[in-house]
């Protein structure tokens, strides 16, 4: 992904644009770099949560669920508030630095006070606010693309790629560092990354940058009920939850029930992520050929096929080959889903993006909870069937629902 590719199909920022936006218009990789570094920083903390509660604090595994529920609930409220604030004209920079500061503070507290109740009552709230950064960054990217006359679909794909790239590196790096230096120092290092993220945010995002949709949501005005937007989130929930269910069960399913070596899940995930990033890159072309809804339907159907096949896998070679299909279906979903949802509220990108990100968080929470319940009642292989059922329901919803109305979708840059 070079600068010429990112710059293509746009005609530049308009007159009266701030000098910083003019610079970003010429160097859009700075916008993508901000999201990439943020994804790397936040993803570094994600795999440590379970280890920290169970091994670091010596607590029962179910107590991790309490932390997850609190954090997700706070994230949903924050995404809702931030999305409305963006559409009411609140500068994006203020919202993003608030999230970054809360995330960094949470990391410092985890390093200083290794007490479960501090984690549950204070840190989980701070990290919930910190998770709002993803929705804000996606909204900023969408608004930036529109204000600089870029192809919104293509730029959304580039944004989603940064998240995938960050998650490819962050968790592995933090786990490796933790294995050598322990929890406290690892959390301090992540807090240091948050400081760098904060500085990059200050230098990159203009202080006055805000929505260019006049009166899309006035101060004090209630968000109108958008049935189409809610419907668009339903397949995102089911397909996203299917992915989380499988990822949660995969390590134990592969090692315990299939008898594969412990590293097999890591190899499969590497294959998936590599293919996923490549597929996301080409999603803009796919959308232009078949449209967002049909692209989502294709992802759901491929997901059903993947889960059906992986259910019958027996060897490491099966797992690795099917990892390619896993990356294809989820890459299509990741590359299209945000644009798919935003098209149902193009003049309120803050609200639409907050709905999208919140749906992914809820899907993740439900997926994790159901994985434990089903695996306890049956086995981890059965959870694969549940993931297949989720993807199937998502495909049914996409078949019966309609595309966003033409007047809902803004013209794409040519």
Of 164, 136, 224, 190, nearest to 39 (Cα)?
164
Q: Does the pTM exceed 0.85? A: no
d(CA 298, CA 395): 8
- Whether the predicted pLDDT of 10 surpasses 60: no
Lowest mean pLDDT: which of 11-20, 124-133, 261-270, 277-286?
11-20
Torsion angle of alpha carbons 410, 6, 293, 355, nearest 10°? -70
- The larger pLDDT score, comparing residue 284 to residue 109, is at 109
Say if CB 350 and CB 86 are below 8 A apart.
Answer: yes
Q: What is the pLDDT of residue 311?
A: 92
- pLDDT of 244-284, one tens digit each? 889 878 877 887 888 888 678 778 888 888 899 899 988 88
Q: For residue range 73-85, what is the model confidence (pLDDT) as tens digits?
A: 999 999 989 988 8
- Asked whether the beta carbons of 111 and 60 are under 8 A apart, the reply is no
Average pLDDT over residues 32-56: 88
What does the mean pLDDT of the chain come to?
85
Measure CA 59 to chain center. 28
Residue 2 has pLDDT above 70, yes or no: no
Mean per-residue pLDDT, 147-156: 86
Res 15: pLDDT = 45
Domains of the chain: 3-204 (1.20.1250.20), 227-400 (1.20.1250.20)
**Contact (Cβ atoms closer than 8 angstroms) between residue 111 and residue 191:** yes
pLDDT band at 129 (very low <50, low <70, confident <90, very high): very high
Nearest-10 Cα torsion for 374, 379, 381, 387? 0
Residues ≥6 apart with Cβ < 8 Å to 376: none
The pLDDT, as a whole number, for residue 288 is 84
157 φ/ψ angles, rounded to the nearest 5 degrees: -65, -40
pLDDT at 214: 60
Pick left, alpha or beta for residue 27 (phi over 0 → left; psi -120 to 50 → alpha; otherwise beta): beta
Listed in sequence order, the residues at least 6 apart from 271 whose beta carbon sits closer than 8 Å to its beta carbon are 320, 323, 324, 326, 327
Task: List all residues 6 or more positions away from 110 whose beta carbon is below 8 Å from its beta carbon.
Answer: 52, 119, 123, 183, 187
The larger pLDDT score, comparing residue 89 to residue 222, is at 89
**What's the average model confidence in pLDDT over 88-114?**
94
């Amino acid at each position: 992904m070079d600068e010429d590719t990112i710059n293509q199909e746009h005609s530049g920022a308009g007159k009266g644009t701030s000098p910083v936006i003019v610079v970003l218009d010429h160097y859009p990789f700075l916008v993508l770099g901000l999201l990439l570094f943020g994804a790397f920083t936040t993803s570094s903390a994600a795999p440590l949560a379970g280890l920290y509660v169970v091994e670091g604090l010596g607590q029962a595994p179910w107590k991790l669920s309490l932390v997850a529920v609190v954090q997700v609930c706070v994230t949903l409220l924050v995404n809702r508030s931030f999305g409305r604030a963006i559409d009411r004209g609140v500068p994006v920079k203020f919202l993003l630095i608030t999230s970054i500061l809360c995330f960094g503070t949470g990391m410092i507290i985890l390093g200083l006070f290794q007490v479960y109740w501090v984690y549950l009552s204070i840190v989980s709230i701070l990290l919930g606010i910190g998770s709002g950064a993803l929705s804000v960054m996606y909204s900023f990217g969408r608004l930036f693309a529109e204000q600089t006359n870029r192809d919104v679909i293509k730029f959304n794909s580039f944004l989603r790629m940064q998240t995938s790239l960050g998650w490819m590196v962050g968790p592995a790096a933090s786990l490796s560092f933790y294995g050598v230096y322990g929890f406290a120092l690892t959390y301090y290092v992540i807090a240091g990354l948050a400081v760098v993220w904060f500085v990059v945010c200050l230098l990159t995002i203009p202080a006055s940058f805000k929505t260019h949709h006049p009166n899309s949501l006035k101060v004090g005005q209630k968000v109108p009920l958008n049935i189409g937007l809610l419907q668009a989130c339903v397949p995102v929930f089911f397909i996203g939850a299917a992915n989380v269910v499988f990822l949660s069960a995969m390590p134990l399913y592969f090692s315990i029930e299939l008898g594969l070596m412990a590293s097999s899940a890591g190899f499969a995930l590497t294959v998936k992520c590599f293919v996923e990033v490549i597929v996301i890159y080409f999603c803009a072309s796919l959308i232009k050929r078949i449209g967002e809804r049909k692209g989502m339907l294709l992802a759901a159907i491929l997901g059903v096929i993947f889960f059906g096949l992986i259910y019958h896998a027996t060897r490491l070679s099966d797992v690795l080959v099917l990892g390619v299909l896993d990356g294809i279906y989820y890459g299509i979903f990741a590359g299209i889903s945000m644009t798919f949802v935003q098209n149902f509220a193009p003049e309120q990108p803050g609200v639409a993006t907050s709905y999208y990100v919140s749906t992914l968080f809820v899907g993740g929470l439900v997926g994790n909870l159901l994985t434990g319940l089903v695996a306890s009642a049956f086995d981890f292989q059965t959870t694969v069937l549940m993931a297949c059922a989720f993807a199937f329901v998502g495909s049914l919803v996409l078949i019966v629902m309609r595309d966003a109305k033409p007047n809902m979708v803004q013209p794409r840059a040519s």
